[in-house]
Amino acid sequence: MKEIQTNEELSEKINKDEVCIFIHSPFCGTCHLARKMLHTIEVMCGKEIVHELSAPYFPQFMQTYKVTSVPCLMIAKQGKVVEMVYAFQSVPFLHGKLSDLIGGST
């Protein structure tokens, strides 16, 4: 996963055609499990498709996009939120959510 570290970088990513952002907190145990699930998907497809955002460092983003809890997987297209996933049910479930970014089935 590619970590987003600045507001400028975040703005650039959000306004891309399609982007997936994993929003987490470093002290969240469930977030660590969710990260491992997303990492598994990236290994399966052979490319980095998820950007990582540490919620405590981006409070304005959290308010603007109404992120209610972490972990959260935000899928956006051209600056508009398509979906916010809060329940990381399984690797196959997440793979299905990311299939457009992955490029079909892997």
Question: Is residue 28 very low, low, confident or very high in pLDDT (cuts 50, 70, 90)?
Answer: very high
Considering only residues 23 and 77, tell me which one the structure prediction assigns the higher pLDDT: 23
Question: Is residue 86 very low, low, confident or very high in pLDDT (cuts 50, 70, 90)?
Answer: very high
Q: Which two tokens stand for residue 69?
A: 């809890």
Note whether 20 and 101 are within 8 A (CB): yes
Backbone angles phi, psi at 94, to 5 degrees: -65, -40
| Global confidence as pTM | 0.91
Structural domain tally of the chain? 1
Does residue 68 sit within a domain? Answer: yes
Looking at residue 104, its pLDDT comes to 53
Does residue 45 sit within a domain? Answer: yes
Half-sphere exposure of 104 (CA within 13 A, CB side): 0
What is the distance between the alpha carbons of residues 91 and 41, in angstroms, rounded to a whole number?
7
Does residue 104 sit within a domain? Answer: no
Domain of residue 67: give its range. Answer: 2-89
Question: Is residue 105 very low, low, confident or very high in pLDDT (cuts 50, 70, 90)?
Answer: very low
The 2-3 sheet, strands edge to edge: 2-3, 51-54, 18-24, 72-77, 80-85
Does residue 70 sit within a domain? Answer: yes
Does residue 96 sit within a domain? Answer: no
Instruction: CATH number of the domain at 50, please.
Output: 3.40.30.10
Does residue 80 sit within a domain? Answer: yes
